[in-house]
Structure 1
Amino acid sequence: MDNSKEMVKLAYEALDEKKGEDIQVIEIKDISIIADYFIIANGTNASQVDALVDNVTDKLGRNGYEPKRIEGIRSASWILLDYGDVVVHIFSKEDRLFYNLERIWRDGKTVSKEQLMGE
Structure 2
Amino acid sequence: MEKTREFQLVESILKSIDDKKGQQPIVLDLRGISSLCDFFVIASAPSARQVKAIAENIREDLENVDIVVRHQEGLKESRWILMDYGDVVVHLFITEDREHYQLESIWKDAPVLDIDTN
TM bracket, shorter-chain basis? over 0.9
1:19 pairs with 9, 18, 21, which one? 21
Instruction: Report how far residue 60 of structure 1 moved.
Output: 1.1
Match of residue 41 from structure 1: 43
Unaligned runs of 5+ in 2: none
- The DSSP-based 3-state class of the residue aligned with 1:113 is coil
Aligned ranges for residues 58-97 of structure 1 at < 5 Å? 58-97=60-99
SS of structure 2 residue aligned to 1:70: strand
What's the TM-score, normalizing by structure 2? Answer: 0.94
Distance 2:52 2:36 in 1: 25
Corresponding residue for residue 54 of structure 1: 56
Detail structure 1 runs of 4+ shifted over 4 Å in the superposition.
none
What is the Cα deviation at residue 113 of structure 1? 2.6
The worse-fitting range, judged by mean Cα deviation, of 12-21 and 56-65 is 56-65
Mapped to 2, the partners of 1:8 and 1:29 lie a distance apart of 14
Partner amino acid, structure 1, of 2:37? A
Query: Secondary structure of the residue that 1:34 maps to in structure 2?
Result: coil
TM-score (norm: length of structure 1): 0.93
SS across alignment from 1:39: strand
Q: How far apart, in 1, do the equivalents of 2:89 and 2:110 lie?
A: 14
Amino acid at match of 1:79: I
Instruction: Give the structure with the higher percent helix.
Output: 1
Gapped runs of 5+ residues in structure 1?
none
After TM superposition, give the deviation of residue 50 of structure 1 in Å.
1.0
Secondary structure of the corresponding residue to residue 53 of structure 1: helix
Taking only aligned residues, the RMSD between alpha carbons, in angstroms, comes to 1.2
Alignment: residue pair count = 116
1:2 is the counterpart of 2:20: no
